C-alpha cells in the first residue's frame, strides 16, 4: 500500500508540479487582483452633515429610472423603509435613543473599484464599465442566483421576489442620463447639495477640501470610500461614525481580493487542476489494469461474468 502513495506523488511531480506552482502560487499579484481606477471614473459625493432628509432624491431616482413609486408601506406615500426591488436610492435616519447626534444617510450602490457582486456573478450579468466604472446589471446574462445579494458588503443589490421574470435592482448611476449629458437623478434635485456628481478625482479633492476647511467637523477627518473596500466611487463624509450609518469598516483591501486570494491562484490558467488531472489519470490507469485482471481471474473461478 505504501508504494501507491509514493506512486501518486511521484507521478504528479513528474507531470510538472513545480512549473504549475510557480505559475500560480508564486505570482505576485494576479491580473484579477490589481484594481485600476477606471480612466473616466465618475461617482457621487454625499455629505451626511448637510443632508436635511427631504427625500427629494428618492422620488427623483424613481422618476429618472422609470420606476413606479414604492407606496407599498401605506398605499399613499413613497416611503420605502429600505432599498428594494423598486428603490435604488433611499434616505435613512440614524437617531440614537439617548438623544445624541443624529444623521441622515443616503444609501445606493457604492460602485466599488473592485466590486464583490461582479466578482461573484457567474455569467458577468453584473459588470463594471471599464471607462466610467459604473457597475450595472444586464437582464440577458442574469440567471437570478441572488449571489450578489449575499456578496455585496454594503447589501445593495435587491432581487425582485414577485413575478415570473424577476430583475435585480441597483443604482446604475443613471447611465442612460449620463449618455445624454445629464446628471444622475438624485444629484439634480438635491436642495442643499448634500449629494453631488462628478469625476471621482474631483469629488475626492472636494471632500478633502471640506475636511481641511472644517477641522473636527467630520468623523476621523476621513473620506469613506477613498480606500475602503479597495476604494469606491461613491464617497461619504459624515459627522458620526460610518458604521452607525451602515457603512462597515472593511479595511483597505477589497473583499474579493482579500477572500478569493487562494481560490484565484488555484484556478489561474487552470494549471494546478490540469496537473492534478494528469497525475490522477496515471495512477488510475495502473489501478484499473490490476482491477480488471483480478476481475477476470474471479470470473474464471466463479463462472459468473465479471462486474467492473
Within positions 200 to 259, which residues make up the interface with other proteins, using CB under 8 A? 246, 248, 250, 255-256, 258-259
Place of cell 435585480: 168
- When asked if residue 198 is in the footprint of other proteins (CB under 8 A), the reply is no
Please say which residue, 57 or 83, places its beta carbon nearer to other proteins. Answer: 83
Q: Which residue among 9, 22, 32, 52 contacts other proteins (CB under 8 A)?
A: 32
Cα angle: 170, vertex 151, 87; to 5 degrees: 20
- When asked if residue 25 is in the footprint of other proteins (CB under 8 A), the reply is no
Q: How far is the CB of 202 from other proteins (least distance, A)?
A: 30
- Determine the 3-state secondary structure of 200 from DSSP: helix
Q: How far is the CB of 189 from other proteins (least distance, A)?
A: 26
The whole-angstrom distance between residue 234's C-alpha and the CA centroid of its chain comes to 14
Residue 285, class by beta-carbon neighbours within 10 Å (0-12 exposed, 13-18 middle, 19+ buried)? exposed
Question: What Å distances lie between residue 109 and 134, 160, 172, 173, 204, CA to CA?
Answer: 9, 17, 7, 8, 17
Q: Which residues ranging from 154 to 193 are in contact with other proteins (CB under 8 A)?
A: 155, 158-166
Query: What is d(CA 260, CA 79) in angstroms, rounded to the nearest whole number?
Result: 38
Q: Total residues at the site for other proteins (CB under 8 A)?
A: 76
Exposure of 21 in the CB half-sphere (CA atoms within 13 A):
6
Q: Which residues ranging from 91 to 130 are in contact with other proteins (CB under 8 A)?
A: 116, 118-125
Q: Which residue among 14, 52, 71, 82 contacts other proteins (CB under 8 A)?
A: 82
Place of cell 430583475: 167
- Determine the 3-state secondary structure of 131 from DSSP: coil
Which of 17-25, 44-52, 100-108, 261-269 is the region at the interface with other proteins (rule: CB under 8 A)?
Answer: 261-269
Q: How far is the CB of 282 from other proteins (least distance, A)?
A: 8
Grid coordinates of 71 = 407606496
Q: Which residue among 19, 139, 209, 221 contacts other proteins (CB under 8 A)?
A: 139
Phi and psi torsions of 154, nearest 5°: -100, 0
Residue 224 has what DSSP assignment? B
Please say which residue, 17 or 189, places its beta carbon nearer to other proteins. Answer: 17
- When asked if residue 9 is in the footprint of other proteins (CB under 8 A), the reply is no
Grid coordinates of 84 = 428594494
Which of 80-88, 103-111, 188-196, 210-218 is the region at the interface with other proteins (rule: CB under 8 A)?
Answer: 80-88
Q: Which residues ranging from 270 to 299 are in contact with other proteins (CB under 8 A)?
A: 273, 276-277, 280-281, 283-285, 287-288, 290-292, 294, 298-299
Amino acid at each position: 500500500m505504501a508504494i501507491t502513495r509514493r506512486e501518486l506523488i511521484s507521478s504528479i511531480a513528474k507531470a510538472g508540479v513545480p512549473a504549475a506552482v510557480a505559475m500560480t502560487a508564486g505570482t505576485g499579484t494576479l491580473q484579477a487582483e490589481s484594481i485600476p481606477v477606471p480612466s473616466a471614473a465618475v461617482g457621487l459625493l454625499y455629505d451626511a452633515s448637510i443632508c436635511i432628509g427631504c427625500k427629494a432624491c428618492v422620488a427623483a431616482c424613481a422618476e429618472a429610472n422609470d420606476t413606479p413609486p414604492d407606496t407599498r408601506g401605506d398605499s399613499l406615500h413613497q416611503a420605502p423603509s429600505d432599498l428594494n426591488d423598486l428603490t435604488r436610492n433611499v434616505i435613512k435616519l440614524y437617531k440614537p435613543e439617548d438623544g445624541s447626534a443624529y444623521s441622515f444617510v443616503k444609501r445606493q450602490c457604492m460602485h466599488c473599484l473592485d466590486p464583490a457582486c461582479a466578482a461573484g456573478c457567474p455569467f458577468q450579468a453584473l459588470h463594471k464599465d471599464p471607462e466610467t466604472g459604473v457597475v450595472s446589471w444586464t437582464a440577458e446574462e442574469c440567471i437570478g442566483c441572488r449571489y450578489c445579494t449575499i456578496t455585496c458588503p454594503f447589501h445593495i443589490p435587491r432581487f425582485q421576489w414577485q413575478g415570473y421574470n424577476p430583475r435585480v435592482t441597483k443604482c446604475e448611476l443613471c447611465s442612460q442620463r449620463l449618455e445624454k449629458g445629464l446628471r444622475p437623478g438624485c444629484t439634480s434635485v438635491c436642495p442643499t447639495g448634500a449629494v453631488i456628481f462628478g469625476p471621482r478625482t474631483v469629488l475626492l479633492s472636494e471632500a478633502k477640501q471640506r475636511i481641511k476647511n472644517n477641522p473636527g467637523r467630520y468623523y476621523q477627518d476621513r473620506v469613506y470610500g477613498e480606500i475602503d473596500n479597495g476604494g469606491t466611487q461613491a464617497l461619504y463624509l459624515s459627522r458620526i461614525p460610518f458604521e452607525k450609518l451602515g457603512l462597515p469598516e472593511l479595511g483597505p483591501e477589497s473583499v474579493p481580493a482579500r477572500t478569493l486570494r487562494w481560490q484565484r491562484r488555484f484556478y489561474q490558467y487552470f494549471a494546478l487542476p490540469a496537473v492534478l488531472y494528469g497525475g490522477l489519470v496515471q495512477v488510475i490507469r495502473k489501478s484499473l489494469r490490476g482491477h480488471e485482471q483480478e476481475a477476470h481471474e474471479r470470473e474464471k473461478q466463479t463462472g459468473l461474468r465479471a462486474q467492473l
